[in-house]
Amino acid sequence: MHTNFKAMQTILIELKNNKAFEELHNLEEKKLIRIINEDYSSYALPGKPLNEEEFRAWVEYAENTTTVSLNEAKQLWEARKKKLQNLIR
């Protein structure tokens, strides 16, 4: 069966065993898919539209979440980038 998919979609699947994970990992190694280990309820991912109540809750959550300065974020990223580069070498 052939299904027409958009060029890129985010899907949620349940893996029943390690063999299924190995198969997906093989597809990732071939750069055919990307496995996302994130919170799938992220507003950055495609999904159902938010109603006004959900949007207000999201804004309230964002307003109450701690922030970091751009300089601090850049410093943190540089430190992590160096660690990753050392692991790769």
Instruction: Name the token pair of 5.
Output: 């998919």
C-beta separation of 23 from 13 below 8 A: no
Percent of the chain with pLDDT over 70: 72
Give me the mean pLDDT over the 57-85 stretch. Answer: 88
Q: pLDDT tens digits, residue range 38-56?
A: 665 666 656 666 778 887 8
Angle at Cα 44 formed by Cα 69 and Cα 83, nearest 5°? Answer: 50
The mean predicted confidence, pLDDT, of the chain is 79
- At 41, the amino acid letter reads S
Report the alpha-carbon distance of residue 84 to residue 86 in Å, rounded: 5
When pLDDT is averaged across residues 16-27 and rounded to a whole number, the result is 88
Q: Which two tokens stand for residue 4?
A: 């027409």
pLDDT band at 64 (very low <50, low <70, confident <90, very high): confident
Tokens 């974020």 map to which residue?
73
